[in-house]
Amino acid sequence: METKKTSLYQLHQDCNAKFVEFAGYHMPIQYSEGIVEEHKFTRNHSGIFDVSHMGQLFVYGGGELIKDLEKIFPLDLKNLRLNHSKYSFLMDKDAGIQDDLIITKINEGFLIILNAACKDNDFKILKELLNEKYKMVLDENRSLIAIQGPKSSEILNELVDGVKDLNFMTGNWFSFEKQKIYITRSGYTGEDGFEISIPNDFVDKFTRELINKGSKLIGLGARDTLRLEAGLCLYGHDLDKDKTPVEANLKWAISKERISKGDFIGSDIIIKQLNNGVSKIRVGIKPEGRIIAREKTKIFNHLDVHIGEITSGTFGPSVNGPVAMGYVENEFSKKNTKILLEVRGKKYPASICGLPFYKKSYVKGVY
Amino acid sequence: MSEVKYSKEHEWIKLDGDVAIIGITKHATEMLGDIVFAELPEKGSNVEKDGTAGVVESTKAASDVYTPVSGEVVDTNQAIVDDPSKINQDPENSAWFFKLKMKDPSEMDTLMNKDDYDKFAKETSV
């Protein structure tokens, strides 16, 4: 299959992007300034991310759709207010995570943002689970960009008046050049920011105007270091179908009300794990010194017994040191537990730590 | 100081008497991106031509550093271990990696001069 380009491809080229193939798309891994500078610019100022490769799934329907979606997602959707968003997962019957996603209640139904590598399969699964009862559109005519960082609200508000009044994890329709754009206050960097769904034909102009107002394009490389510092999971690495939301330490995202009913896909496993505990669990890992422990690095306890594996690891530019996440046997998951990481045949000391690695002091009143 | 020579693995080497100073090229640092970790061979250890003699890591990936000649490691540059970003800033000068007492000075003849290396780097870059 031919590698696809997003509608911002020309702009990426104009900004000297280095491209990589990601989930079937030519995506910018970095621009001329490099990952560390892009990362810091996002934390201190404002960065724009092209995430148009992600799926924007519109599912149209009313009360019956809510009931049907509650059989799939562990969310209290009947109490989800208009234009409010929730983080959730698509699970299989064993509660294995097939994708992680953001679902937003819109007037006509729901908007679900899916991972690029999973979106076509998710669409197939959801269509089957919903028995083709509802109109579903995996919209290829819209682009998705994120603008993240402390100056983003001010910059975006200059183009789209009113966005600064959105609360975290809520959205609304706005207009740009008479086009309907849907903006949510959300993101995946640990910074205040927004995600903007906009027609393909207008995204280039819109993004160039954001750049003119002082924001900068940021590549997938910095997106990865930003999300890892923020303790956020990357599907295909920290999450996959061999891991459940409880094992992934994401039980906060499962509605308590829905657990008591237990009528969604995978609920029996989830309830069992919540009651009896899990054998492995996702934790933050802080290597001592500067050694970087990447994905698949083996984790050992103080007695040199193999207890788990790293699923994401890099150097965190804002932390100014290595950061990692991984899964360890539950008994070794307590904060400050000393562990060893095997890197290039040698074992290096590290400890289990809380997440996130980098915490923002948000402006009061925003949330 | 002798002429600087270059390897196909993107190391540079220059001689100071019978001691060889080795580092990675500017071209290598540009391909790697921001370097955030460096590991050097141990002082006193012996390294063999084309064998690994260190590691550099960018935010994206780890890469081995090879030695273009054989010898005994007589000095290493702790400054780049403490602050690996120095490697991006001044790769072919102050950010040298290690110094070797060469075992076989004729190994220098197997390496490229600047013109040949620049051509090689241009042809092999993506």
The domain locations on chain B are 5-124
Residues on chain B touching A294 (C-beta within 8 angstroms) = 61-62
**Cα distance from A34 to chain B (closest Cα, Å)?**
6
Residues on chain A touching B53 (C-beta within 8 angstroms) = none
| Residue from A358, A344, A346, A283 nearest A315 by CA | A358
Nearest residue of chain A to residue B55 (CA atoms): A344
Place of tokens 């019957």: A93
Which two structure tokens, joined as six digits, stand for B11?
A: 């190391």
**Cα distance from B37 to chain A (closest Cα, Å)?**
6
> A367 pLDDT band (50/70/90 cuts)?
very low
Sign of the alpha-carbon dihedral angle for A322, A327, A330, A332: negative
Candidates A37, A39, A221; nearest CB to B60: A221
Mutate to test the interface with B, among A292, A323, A341, A343 (most CBs of B within 10 A): A292
Report whether A314 contacts A323 (CB < 8 A).
yes
What confidence score (pLDDT) does residue B1 get? 54
CATH of B5-124, one of 2.40.50.100, 1.10.150.20, 3.20.20.210, 2.60.200.20: 2.40.50.100
Report whether B94 contacts B88 (CB < 8 A).
no
What confidence score (pLDDT) does residue A364 get? 44
Residue A117 has pLDDT above 90, yes or no: yes
> B107 pLDDT band (50/70/90 cuts)?
very high
pLDDT tens, residue by residue, A279-295: 999 999 999 999 999 99
What is the β-pairing status of strands A280-287 and A321-329?
antiparallel
Separation of alpha carbons A339 and A348, rounded Å: 8
Nearest residue of chain B to residue A344 (CA atoms): B55
Q: Confirm or reject contact between A314 and chain B (CB < 8 A).
A: yes
Q: Where are the beta strands (DSSP E) in chain A?
A: 4-5, 18-22, 25-30, 47-50, 55-60, 85-91, 97-106, 109-114, 135-138, 142-148, 171-176, 179-184, 193-199, 216-217, 280-287, 298-300, 306-316, 321-329, 338-343, 346-353
Q: Do B33 and A344 touch (CB under 8 A)?
A: no
Q: Confirm or reject contact between A323 and chain B (CB < 8 A).
A: no
Separation of alpha carbons A233 and A188, rounded Å: 9
Residues on chain A touching B62 (C-beta within 8 angstroms) = 292, 294, 344
Count of CB atoms situated within 10 Å of the CB of A84: 15
| Residue from A76, A82, A56, A103 nearest A172 by CA | A82
* A235 Cα distance to chain centroid: 8
pLDDT tens, residue by residue, A28-54: 999 999 999 999 999 999 999 999 999
Q: What is the DSSP string of chain B?
A: ----EE-TTSEEEEEETTEEEEEE-HHHHHHH-SEEEEE-PPTT-EE-TTSEEEEEEESS-EEEEE-SS-EEEEEE-HHHHH-THHHHHSTTTTT--EEEEES-GGGGGGSB-HHHHHHHHHHH--
Q: Do A34 and B62 touch (CB under 8 A)?
A: no
Which residue type is seen at A273?
Answer: Q
Candidates A35, A224, A322; nearest CB to B33: A35
> B18 pLDDT band (50/70/90 cuts)?
confident
Domains identified in chain A and CATH numbers: 4-53+140-229 (3.30.1360.120), 56-138 (3.30.70.1400), 279-353 (2.40.30.110)
Q: Confirm or reject contact between A95 and chain B (CB < 8 A).
A: no
Residue A182 has pLDDT above 60, yes or no: yes
Q: What is the mean pLDDT of chain B?
A: 94
pLDDT tens, residue by residue, A301-352: 999 999 999 999 999 999 999 999 999 999 999 999 999 999 999 999 999 9
> B124 pLDDT band (50/70/90 cuts)?
confident
What confidence score (pLDDT) does residue B126 get? 55
| Residue from B123, B79, B96 nearest B29 by CA | B96
Q: Do B36 and A225 touch (CB under 8 A)?
A: no
Which two structure tokens, joined as six digits, stand for B91?
A: 């790769």
**Residue % of chain B over a pLDDT of 70:** 98
End-to-end CA distance of chain B: 33
Which residue type is seen at A224?
Answer: D
Q: What is the DSSP string of A337-360?
A: -EEEEEETTEEEEEEEE-S-SS--
**Residue % of chain A over a pLDDT of 70:** 98
> A95 pLDDT band (50/70/90 cuts)?
very high
Separation of alpha carbons B78 and B80, rounded Å: 6
What confidence score (pLDDT) does residue A173 get? 98
Report whether A231 contacts A284 (CB < 8 A).
yes
What is the β-pairing status of strands B11-16 and A280-287?
unpaired
Q: Confirm or reject contact between A34 and chain B (CB < 8 A).
A: yes
Q: Confirm or reject contact between B52 and chain A (CB < 8 A).
A: no
Residues on chain A touching B60 (C-beta within 8 angstroms) = 29, 35, 221, 314
Nearest residue of chain A to residue B82 (CA atoms): A290
Residues on chain B touching A344 (C-beta within 8 angstroms) = 55, 62
Sheet holding B19-24, edge to edge: B5-6, B11-16, B19-24, B98-102, B71-76, B46-47
Which two structure tokens, joined as six digits, stand for A39?
A: 């990362």
Which two structure tokens, joined as six digits, stand for A78?
A: 């009947």
Separation of alpha carbons A72 and A134, rounded Å: 14
Mutate to test the interface with A, among B60, B80, B85, B86 (most CBs of A within 10 A): B60
Mean pLDDT of A51-61: 98
Q: Which of 233-292 (A) contact B at CB < 8 A?
A: 290-292
How many alpha carbons fall within 13 Å on the CB side of residue A287? 29
What confidence score (pLDDT) does residue A365 get? 42
Q: Do A36 and B36 touch (CB under 8 A)?
A: yes
Distances (CA, A) of A166 to A102, A177, B106: 17, 20, 70
Separation of alpha carbons A171 and A110, rounded Å: 12
Mean pLDDT of A95-123: 98
Report whether B1 contacts B70 (CB < 8 A).
no
Separation of alpha carbons A32 and A41, rounded Å: 13
Separation of alpha carbons A207 and A130, rounded Å: 36
Residue A263 has pLDDT above 80, yes or no: yes
Number of CB pairs, chain A paired with chain B, less than 8 A apart: 42
**Cα distance from B53 to chain A (closest Cα, Å)?**
13
